[in-house]
């Protein structure tokens, strides 16, 4: 869903991390004229430091994580977040103040929202 949404907006997406979705990430990167960049694994300190240069954090996780540390770190850095509305993810977000959330499976509904 995130990859479908990025095709609809004029934005650059930076993917941090490794995992089973890496082949798909690389495929989408090739289809978006360089607007999707893959950094791979980054240590926590690098992620936290570089977070200050980003416009927002997108966490489209399907996992029901009750308290993801990355959202607390984003909040500390004043970084707005776009997260799935389930588990503990949406508990960190005050819509219109520090981010927005979307219904799982429907991220593209937020791609063109204000």
Nearest partner of 40 among 68, 12, 58, 14, judged by Cα = 14
Question: Quick check: helix, strand or coil at residue 91?
Answer: helix
Nearest partner of 54 among 9, 95, 14, 108, judged by Cα = 14
The second-level CATH assignment, the architecture, of 2-110 is 3-Layer(aba) Sandwich (3.40)
Provide CB contacts within 8 A for 58, sequence distance 6+: 2, 13, 81, 82, 83
Global pTM value: 0.78
Report the distance separating Cα 94 and Cα 97, nearest Å: 5
pLDDT of residue 108: 56
Nearest partner of 93 among 63, 68, 64, judged by Cα = 68
Domain boundaries defined on the chain: 2-110
Alpha helices in the chain (DSSP H): 2-8, 22-31, 44-50, 69-76
pLDDT tens sequence across 60-76: 777 777 778 889 999 99
pLDDT tens sequence across 96-108: 999 998 888 775 5
Percent of the chain at pLDDT above 70?
91
Which positions of the chain have pLDDT values less than 70? Answer: 1, 107-114
């Amino acid at each position: 869903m995130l990859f479908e949404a990025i095709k609809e907006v004029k934005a650059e997406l930076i993917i941090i991390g490794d995992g089973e979705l890496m082949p798909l990430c690389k495929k989408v990167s090739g289809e978006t004229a360089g607007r999707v960049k893959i950094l791979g694994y980054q240590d926590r300190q690098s992620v936290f430091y570089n977070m200050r240069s980003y416009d927002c954090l997108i966490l489209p996780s399907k996992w029901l994580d009750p308290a993801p540390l990355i959202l607390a770190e984003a909040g500390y850095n004043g970084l707005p977040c776009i997260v799935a509305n389930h588990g503990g993810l949406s508990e960190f977000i005050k819509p219109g103040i520090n981010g927005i959330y979307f219904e799982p499976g429907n991220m593209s509904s937020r791609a063109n929202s204000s």
